[in-house]
Structure 1
Amino acid sequence: MLIYGIDFTSAPSRRKPLVVARGQLEGAHLTILDLVGCHDWATFEGYLRLPGPWIAALDLPFGLPAAVVAALAWPATWADYVAVAARLELSAFLALLQGYSSRQPAGQKLPRRLTDVLAQARSPLMCQRVPLARMFWQGAPRLLASGACILPCHPTEDGRFVLEGYPALVARCWLARQPYKGSRPDQREGHRLARARLLAGLTCAGLTRRYGLTLSLGESSRTVCLNDSSGDYLDALLCAVQAAWAARMSGAANAATPEQARRSLSALLPACDPNEGWIFDPALAASPGGGE
């Protein structure tokens, strides 16, 4: 089965591309075929339109916290409130979120979804440093427009499955909280050593214990991941690991029909609000076989 891991950005360009890791899953073995930088939205949307079956994990928040959606008086259903956000200019969308945050007490200005709390991830309302609100505004409407099966937010009968990934969860298995990306010159060598350690972990028995997979990574792809100080290429690879884990652990890779694959993937989800979205990773999975 084809597997995609996508490191998302709110403004793809030649300097800061959106990165796609393309892989092939055969049994428990994931082979990374290539790592490609997408410099514009048209190229990214082209990947979403590729015929299935395939499973992709994307590093962006698919949804907003339910409390925020309710406070904005938007429809509760994911497809409906994403359509509302898509009709707004970016500046107007960000102003609404900032207005909501300004009315909240200290400590509650950047609310998180349940999946963010469990993954120790940032709030989708965050606009500074990591511009997650911009990523949602750019990404979620494109996912909706693709017609793909967006789990758990917007299930369809399509054979293209799009899941939310969070590469930090994979990286923590080997690095804990040690940083592996950034632009500060005084930290460059330390970050590179951390990326080397993480890459070594991904190609050893630890990946089988944690994700039920083995990985083949060509030397050119490994070199790109090692030398990319932004970590974007490595993050795309980590998202591909999460997508492959979901495909294999659920049995979706061997499903006879898209409906069977959708049901299998959905079985990995714990009780959650589907309109907020959920990160697919063994650390957050409902399946008793999903963890170590």
Structure 2
Amino acid sequence: MPKAALPPLPPLLGCDFSSSPSPRKPIVLAWGRLDADAQTVTLEGFHRFSTLVQWQAFLLQQPAWVGGFDLPFALPRELVNSLGWPSDWQACMQHYARLERSEIRDLFKAFCDARPVGGKFAHRATDGPAGASPSMKWVNPPVAWMLHAGLPRLLALGADFPGLLRRDSTRVALEAYPGMLARELIGRRSYKSDDRQRQTPERAQARAALLEALQQGRHRLGLRLLAEAPQLQTMAADASGDHLDAAICMLQAGWALAQHAAGDALYGLPPGIDPLEGWIVTAPLSRP
């Protein structure tokens, strides 16, 4: 039975984030919409930002959106409790934003140094099911800096954060993770690299396979990605994977918007999640 058509919906966006954007490595934003059949997400275009100020200003100019952002939205409760930081999410993030990165690195390193090998980092409950890196990691990848650079700017936009902070806002921010959906479709095959020496034909083939699967909707989200030929070429040709990752984040936001349109106030996030840690949108409750 076909899904019921949806009422008019806000635009979708997906963001491949960088904590230190530049003209060579910009923040990439995919812009699109969830179609009325609730089965397709149409990619309408990409935007690129070489500074955090430009990125934030663009988001502020848009009156309404539901966005999937590839950056952590929170820290592990175990770490927050150990450091004696506020247990309220907004207060904790405001405290985190006031710290210098050198202070954060020293605090996190001391926390890790006091723990046994194999358990150095604290994890959020969502990290395992999503296959995501601990949000306190400051290197390889430096997701702690992504949290430090991106989340305070989203907070300043007055956005609504389902599961963390409810506001009467037409801008809705969700933590997304493109690697989760990519692994479902092409396994552990690598499809991207920022290192030119590692931008191989094998990775290009993996991007092509991933794009084909996204267009056909061969995944548990049940949504097909619609894009015009130039957009598909942009995603296929970008060996860094940034444009493809932004589109995947947009697709994850589209799934969340469909859940909300069907009556789910949490945009598909599991009920009862930790209000300090949050949850990565579309992540299951346990590791697949």
Shared fold, TM over 0.5? yes
1:38-117 to 2 correspondence within 5 Å? 38-117=49-128
Correspondence for 2:202: 190
Indicate which of 247, 264, 269 corresponds to 2:257. 247
Structure 1 residue aligned with 2:138, among 127, 132, 136? 127
Give, in whole Å, the separation in 1 of the partners of 2:89 and 2:138. 21
Per the TM alignment, residue 184 of structure 1 is displaced from its structure 2 partner at its CA by 5.5
CA distance in 1, matches of 2:251, 2:285: 15
Report the alpha carbon displacement of residue 215 of structure 1 after superposing the two structures with TM.
Answer: 2.2
Measured against aligned partners, the alpha-carbon deviations of 1:94-146 in whole angstroms (never above 9, x if no partner) come to: 22111211111222211210100111111112122211111111112112211
Provide closer, same or farther for how the CA distance between residues 186 and 55 of structure 1 changes in structure 2, counting only shifts above 3 A: closer
Q: Tell me if the contact between 2:80 and 2:86 (Cα under 8 Å) persists in the aligned partners.
A: yes
Retained in 2: the 8 A contact 1:23–1:33? yes
Stretches of structure 1 lacking an aligned partner (at least 5 in a row): 253-259, 287-292
The alpha-carbon deviation at position 77 of structure 1 amounts to: 0.8
Q: Which residue of 2 aligns with 1:212?
A: 222
Q: Distance in 2 between matches of 1:186 and 1:217?
A: 27
Report the counterpart of residue 185 of structure 2 in structure 1. 174
Match of 1:235? Answer: 245
Q: Is the 8 A contact 1:49 1:146 kept in 2?
A: yes
- Change beyond 3 A, Cα 1:285–1:50: farther
CA drift of 1:196 comes to 0.3
- Residue of structure 2 equivalent to 1:276: 277
Cα distance, 1:238 vs. partner?
A: 0.4
Structure 1 CA distance for aligned equivalents of residues 153 and 224 of structure 2: 32
Distance 1:47 1:4 in 2: 12
Moved beyond 4 Å, runs of 4+: none
Compute the displacement of 1:8 (Å). 0.7
Query: 1:187: how far off?
Result: 5.4
CA distance in 2, matches of 1:171, 1:125: 23
Deviation at 1:227, TM superposition (A): 1.1
- Counting only pairs closer than 5 Å after superposition, residues 14-33 of structure 1 correspond to structure 2 as 14-27=23-36, 28=38, 29-33=40-44
Q: Residue 186 of structure 1: CA displacement?
A: 5.3
Distance 1:22 1:3 in 2: 6
**Secondary structure, counterpart of 1:203 in structure 2:** helix
TM-score, length-normalised on structure 2?
0.90
Asked if structure 2 preserves the Cα contact closer than 8 Å seen for 1:164 and 1:278, the reply is yes
Return the alpha-carbon distance in structure 2 between the equivalents of residues 2 and 11 of structure 1.
26
Query: After superposition, where does 1:1-12 map in structure 2 within 5 Å?
Result: 1-12=10-21
Q: Is the 8 A contact 2:256 2:267 kept in 1?
A: no
Q: Residue 267 and residue 31 in structure 1: after superposition, are their counterparts in 2 closer, same or farther (change >3 A)? A: closer
Determine helix, strand or coil for the equivalent of 1:112. Answer: coil
Structure 2: distance between partners of 1:150 and 1:186? 37
Partner of 1:224: 234
Tell me if structure 1 keeps the 8 A contact 2:14–2:247. Answer: yes
Partner of 1:135, secondary structure, is helix
Residues 75 and 25 from structure 1, CA distance in 2 versus in 1: closer, same or farther, beyond 3 angstroms?
Answer: same
Contact 2:268 2:281 in 1 (8 A): no
CA distance in 2, matches of 1:16, 1:76: 34
Show the counterpart of 1:290.
none
Structure 2 unmatched runs, 5+: 1-9
Mapped contact 2:199–2:239 kept (Cα < 8 A): no
